[in-house]
Every structure is written in C-alpha cells, then in structure tokens.
Amino acid sequence: MALQIQIKEIHNLAVKDLGLSSETGLDISNLNKLKEWLAHEIQLLLDHDFQRFLNMLYRIDVDEQKAKEAFADKDPSMKLAELIIERELQKVESRRKYK
C-alpha cells in the first residue's frame, strides 16, 4: 500500500479519535509533518484539557506503560504523537487485513 494513503488514513483516524478539526490547513504529505501537526495538537490538549486527552489515549488504546514513559520524556507531545501514530497505523493495517 502506498505510504501516502496510509498517512491520510492515520490522519483521519487521529482527527476522529482525538476530536480534532479535519481542516488542519497544513500539508501532511509525509509522516514527519503528520507527527509535527499531531504533537502540536497534543500539546494544546495537554495544556488546556489534560483529562480529556487521557480519556482519548485510553480510547485509542495506546499502551499505558509506553504512555507513562512518554510523559517522562523531555518532549512528551512528540513522543505521544509517535505512539498515537503507531497505534493508528496498527488499526489501518488490521482493517485492511480483515476487510
């Protein structure tokens, strides 16, 4: 599968699961740009609605131990973005496999 299609699907899942606006106005044509955008959105949630973000992590099913380690990282929003992208990619691949 083309990486560009996967990036778009991961973006769409993250938007849905985190309750974000799908109108990012940003170019998310590659994984790094997607990660930067998501880290920015996560930082906003961490700053303004921490409990909601924790609930979203639970709903997305990010590994709890990995999430705890990410919060201890010097840049938790970037590490959490990586974990969310990793989990959303697993969902995309699983859906394709069992479609």
The model's pLDDT over 19-67, given as tens digits with 9 standing for 90+, comes to: 887 665 667 778 898 899 999 999 999 999 999 999 999 999 999 999 9
Segments forming the whole domain that contains residue 38: 3-97
Domain count for the chain: 1
Using CA atoms, how far apart are residues 33 and 56, in angstroms rounded to an integer?
A: 21
pLDDT score at 28? 74
CB burial of residue 48 (10 Å; 0-12, 13-18, 19+)? exposed
Using CA atoms, how far apart are residues 29 and 46, in angstroms rounded to an integer?
A: 25
